[in-house]
Each structure stands twice: as structure tokens, then as C-alpha cells.
Amino acid sequence: MKIVWKVIMLCIYVTLILATHIFIVNFLPYPFNHINIIFVILLLLLIVAPNKKIFWLGLVISYFSELLSSIPFGIGTSALLASLLTINWFQLHILTNRSVYMILLSATLGITLYRILFILLLTIYNYFYNLPGLPYKEILADTGWEVLLSSILLFLMYLFDLKFLKYLHSSARNARMYGKNI
């Protein structure tokens, strides 16, 4: 019964996050439609409630979101997981301070890394399949908006969590301060 309940909850989380992603991409005007809500939510969860399940959640969400994209399958998911793991390592070994400014820096680094990996993989794919080059100038502008707006959103969400949802911290404090072996 517990497992069924967990699966139902996972389905609800995934649907909600995907619906939010579709809402932002389809509904919001430029440049707000470039907010990377999937990455923001996953990174926020990784910061306030670290758990290995977040990577699996990221894998599932990214896999499903790629079903609605014409970008070669696997590029988005690979870039997302690699950047999440890298930023997790960064927060564990380099960005160890947990001030809101450090969270902002983590978000900026994470989303920038995600976009760089994404473009790199896509460029390699296009090269091997003789497809035309990417419009790097436009991509750079879009990435700028994505990094700026997504980082600000994560910063605000973390701040909100810090002020109003303090119960999340008590459970995650030890893991954040001393690391958690899994």
C-alpha cells in the first residue's frame, strides 16, 4: 500500500512540474518563457531537502519533457543530470556556505553549465549528422535570460522557504552541513 501511495505521489509531482514547465514555455511572454523551472525546482529540492530520489525525479521529468521536443532524444536529460551532479559536488566541496547569495551563485553556475552541456551535445550531434550550425548569437541571448531569470526565481524561492517554510530545514540541516552518504 505504501509503495502504491508513493507511485501516486510521484506521478502527481511529475505531472505538476511538467504542467508548470508547459505553462511557462507556452503561456508566459518573452523573456519569461525562458525560465528553466525544471532545473530550478530540482536544484531547490537538492538544497533544502537533499535526497538521492531527486536525481531519479530529474531523470523521469526530463525524460517525459523530451517527448514533447524535436531535439534529439537524450541530450536534454544527459545535460540536466550531469549539471545537477556537478552542482551537487560543487556545493559539497567548494560552495559550502549556505547563504542566499551562495545559492544564487549555485543556481547561476548550474543553469549555465546545463545550457553549455546542452549546446555542446547538440553541436556534436549536428556535426555528425551534417545539420546546419546553431544560431549561437540568439542562443547566447536566450541563455542569458534563462540564467538571469531562473537564478532570480530560485533565489526568491529559497528566500521564501527560509522565511516561511522553516520546517524543511530542520530535516535537511544535518545533511546540508555534514553531507549525507547514500
Q: Minimum distance between the CB of residue 69 and other proteins, rounded to whole angstroms?
A: 6
Count of other CB atoms within 10 angstroms of residue 81: 18
Please give the C-alpha separations between residue 164 and each of 58, 96, 156, 160, in angstroms, as whole numbers. 25, 23, 12, 6
Contacting residue, 7, 69, 100, 173, with other proteins by CB under 8 A: 69
Cell digits of residue 23: 505553462
When asked if residue 112 is in the footprint of other proteins (CB under 8 A), the reply is: no
Q: Applying CB under 8 A, which of residues 4, 67, 130, 167 lies at the interface with other proteins? A: 67
Site for other proteins in 10-49 (CB under 8 A): 15, 18-19, 22-23, 25-27, 29, 34, 46
For other proteins, the closer of residues 86 and 108 by Cβ is 86
Q: Are 150 and 40 in contact (CB under 8 A)?
A: yes
Residue of the chain from 10, 13, 51, 152 that contacts other proteins (CB under 8 A): 51
22 or 165: CB nearest other proteins: 22
Tell the residue number behind the cell numbers 523530451, with chain if given.
66
Look at residue 82 and give its three-state secondary structure. Answer: helix
Instruction: For residues 106 and 91, give the distance between their C-alpha atoms in angstroms, rounded to a whole number.
Output: 7
Chain center to CA of 24? 14
Please report, as ranges, the residues that interact with other proteins according to CB under 8 A: 15, 18-19, 22-23, 25-27, 29, 34, 46, 50-52, 55-56, 59, 63-64, 67-71, 73-74, 77-78, 81, 85, 88-89, 91-92, 122, 131-132, 134-135, 138-139, 141-142, 175-176, 179-182
